[in-house]
Structure 1
């Protein structure tokens, strides 16, 4: 998983660290914008980060006539076109779009002095149609022309007609769309975060007061509905026209919906079951420890030398730590996951913070596929002295137990240790990209040793 590997022999020459799991899709990647190939500066490429296709945002934005400003100190990119504004920060998986906070599938990255962002963000938040040809390594981007098409001519009657939307509202957990004529939308759902996607084919915006300007999105006020993060809409395609409405949900465990069209109004009735609030441990006086096996579910993490996903190792070790900590009478243990599911990083942080945990430990396996000889254990904390103390103690125990190369205790800017409010560490047990180290890490003997070392470190830090 780690973005912090110091590449052997070359570290003194690099201005920025190349993230561990970022690999150039190819040296011949291309970006085609509105039929024209963009000229990419030297070393600027389309990249694949943990199966997320990411593209250089400055090149795309400037070719769309956006003003792009980069703040080196804050690592912030601000993109402006008239009243449309987008703000992104390297390493943060949330962006600001038109003064609204939106979640990204993966945080922007700095690679070879260039900020890259997930292609889905470009599609959803900049109003572009996107395509990725994996075989040819070509990204295609098509900007939308949001002008309302002229009414169909009254010729032979075979011309395609375009339906019009005159109003969009969200109230009482119902999406209500006023249509010029009845149309059956295509409805789909996406996860992480939970979203309901409603696509209206052969449909454009009509005489409505809140038509989003070219290439951008409109948003509805959903502040009165805690189960809904936002409702956004845009002209998703132009030829033929297609309006897309996205209902993004907040902290729900399940969602159901029904649909009907009454008197020219399409109604989507959303029924949500909220996530249960984390229960506060009832054992008085116990120390609360959160163990976080990294990745899981749709997020495999890095891939090992033998092509196994990191999430398998993280869970295997996490469950062994769980088994040991559950025997400790003075510790209340909480797991962020016990099966192959994917809690988002924000959900892991919220769980630990809501519980007012004393300790948070995130378990990972490291990787640098370009240098499979790299090996060793490294441990991360974020700025706080209490986290540094916890990291130092657990790291000492891991090195003693496993005998891997000591790569040190380091300050790392990772969300799960940055945004948690308790003593928090992220453990990189060893390098899954190293053949012999992967074999050692996955052995039952060393899994048991690593688990005991983590537990001993936690107990030593908590003075138990």
Structure 2
């Protein structure tokens, strides 16, 4: 018994003093190159390091007939095809490609006397199409002289004029100019009639619509799929997949693919049963791209009669409502309910102001369209328009803070600055700043207009505070104080 305890304590001591990496794990897997399995030595395996799939570089390049040299002294690997040379060094993230420095996500490592590198490096620098099947633990590689990835693309869309892929070419290091800035799609989902795409860096998306059938097309330039993407969403060997959109009457399909490889571009297509209005939101801080389709329901707003009494007219807009729940909180509560609760508190305070007349775009759980909200404010010739929202990034629950949006007009920027100042001070959330954003309700209104993202309902700490009456009362008073200061109302 004592001997067993002694061995256990010794094992525990060795585990503490000489811990395993914890971030690296070997995977019983296969590498399929151009449809054929590569034979690997018995002691060589695909490895996962910090969520990056690592494969043995020599096994791959020798099967591609590249020349490979290993320098034991410098721990360097040189790969050559014709005049193109790639140089790697073990435990160094910097590689040299055609004389230029390229940064790898993870440094090459030696495992079982074999150098392993991220498969993403293979894709970006050696002209291969790469995908990782997380279920079967299989790496699929397709060399550039095989069928172009352009064949069988997402739907029937033709490549745009920017498509410069060159089937049958020799782009071994053709992407080295943009490799440093290449971004990746980490994940995507479709919920609440919204497509949310999570990226690992700043991307400038382009969006267009197509007819017969109706489609919304989102292109992400200089972008590929992350190694880990296939573990959360379907991604076949051709780097194509579809999202589950069951339950949405007007969306028949959401499909995606690596649309071109030279240059890299991911394309996402929302196939519709009928043409659908939408709004594209791009959050640079969280690297999220959101297409919101909740802008189609007809709902009549009656425009109230406002007496020409010299009072300042303030329109308060609780975002979303009715069939448009907005985003979800970390505990699956709807944004629309938070928006209305806070807005009603703002209304209560403004009703006490003798020099202000307050008008609500909604005061119950109904859905006025964005166009109707804009039309209401413009027909009233309101002095100020304030739209109240809660933020949510379920894919990034650590995101937090308050941000305020305006659109171009200097008067809107001034209003945004003053309300934001009061709001951040009152509720104490981190300051994400005042930003210019092309959002319909602040873009098409004619008066000073702002959209407040009070905090992140997807952040557990902020959600708890935002749903409390105490913080809502503080936020409401701050919004009113900001409005009054801007308008010079005592």
Give the TM-score of the pair, scaled to structure 2. 0.46
Q: Which structure has the greater CA radius of gyration?
A: 2
Choose between structure 1 and 2: higher strand proportion: 1
Higher relative contact order (CA 8 A, sep 6+): 1
